[in-house]
Structure 1
Amino acid sequence: MHASAFIALGTNLPFEGAEGSALLARAVEAMREAGFELRAVSGVWRTPAWPPGSDQPDYFNAVVEADAREDGPRAIYDKLRAIEATFGRKRRARWESRTLDLDLLALGALSGVFDGIAVPHPRLQERVFVLAPFAEVAPDWRHPELGETVAHMLARLEVDEGYRRVSDLS
């Protein structure tokens, strides 16, 4: 069996008449059309925009587990960027609102920087908007550098921001 690629999805702007959970459902379908074989899909979680006080609309977030096949981090990253582009994603400034954000969180137990792509994602352990949906698909996945499971990383966060599961993502 091939390694699992864990991918975060996020949106806080509409695109072509879809927004929130509906837009993430379209993104999941686009991932399948791009050749990603999905093993698990989290629900949709709504969280305040990051960083706090940015006055952006709330985000809708999810995590999927995909079969990585023989793809390495760069190949996965490039496929994700191509999908983002079809959803009108423009990269102008860090932490700006976006129609679709796709991030490679982890690739099996791989750890390091590969062709410019860091895995696992350098800040995943700090972000409830990543860990809450990640815990739905792989609560026992263990961070290769920290040695902690997703469930443990989520439980130890002191969260004062509101976040909640708002729907299933089929």
Structure 2
Amino acid sequence: MAGFGDPHMETVDAAGLRLGIVGARWHSDLVDHMIERAKAAAEACGVTDVVVSRVVGSVELPIIAQALAGSCDAVVAFGVVIKGETDHYAYVNDSVTSGLTRVALDERTPVGHGVLTVHSLGQARDRAGLEDSIEDKGWQATVAVLDTALALRELGKP
């Protein structure tokens, strides 16, 4: 967490947009909370059409994000990947980030990256938007992806 440069986006007027949310079931207590914060952010932005889907782990997020991108104006993906003692962490993070980016570009639909890639459970808790968290990635990723969908609409991109 850099701790600086946050654009402090509270809400945007995204009424009429359809939002897809996909979350991993690993670390479900944190992901469930981020999904709830995403739904609250969508509601605060005027979004009433929200579709939520769940998958086992973070690696599966891109394929469901792609399916949601076909019927949604924006998609946001949530997961938690905590560094262990092997290189698996790096492979998962690379796969998820590349996959979500590819979906956004291929589908021309913004995909928010709300996957926490951290070194400890404490770092994940600090970012999950809990009462004692210092960041709220569920809210932030959702507002950012809705803002991007609005920017695309303004540019005349379907």
| TM-score normalised by L of structure 1 | 0.30
Higher strand share: 1
Structure whose residues are more often helix by fraction: 2
Quick one: higher RCO (CA 8 Å, sep 6+), 1 or 2?
A: 1
